Amino acid sequence: SQQGEEDPQALSIQEGENATMNCSYKTSINNLQWYRQNSGRGLVHLILIRSNEREKHSGRLRVTLDTSKKSSSLLITASRAADTASYFCAFNTGNTGGFKTIFGAGTRLFVKA
């Protein structure tokens, strides 16, 4: 399969709570990215973390990367109903001969108001 692994597959929380999603991959990577997809729309880029970085913040988002464990996590703090969407991790692999960005299976997040 082209995909990385994500868990959980689905997550339901109350508004104001934090949401954590995890991603694992199998190859060496150049970077790891997280995307959001609302129903019926294309994916929107949220945050990119390079392979030599361990943690990155953007607003209410916090991403960690552990290359030794080949895993990443996305934390959304103080969630809102508008955060309801599917979230995908994506990892870029390859070298000058060719690059690929491969997507995980996604986590469906539902935030209850």
The contact set with other proteins (CB under 8 A) reads 1-3, 30-31, 33, 35, 40-45, 48, 50, 88, 90, 92, 94, 98-106
Q: Which two tokens stand for residue 74?
A: 């996305």
Least Cβ distance, residue 44 to other proteins (angstroms): 7
For residue 24, the surrounding DSSP H or E stretch is strand 19-24
3-state secondary structure of 82: helix
Least Cβ distance, residue 25 to other proteins (angstroms): 14
45 or 80: CB nearest other proteins: 45
Q: Are 18 and 75 in contact (CB under 8 A)?
A: yes
Residue type, 55: E
16 or 99: CB nearest other proteins: 99
Strands 107-112 and 10-14: parallel
Least Cβ distance, residue 83 to other proteins (angstroms): 19
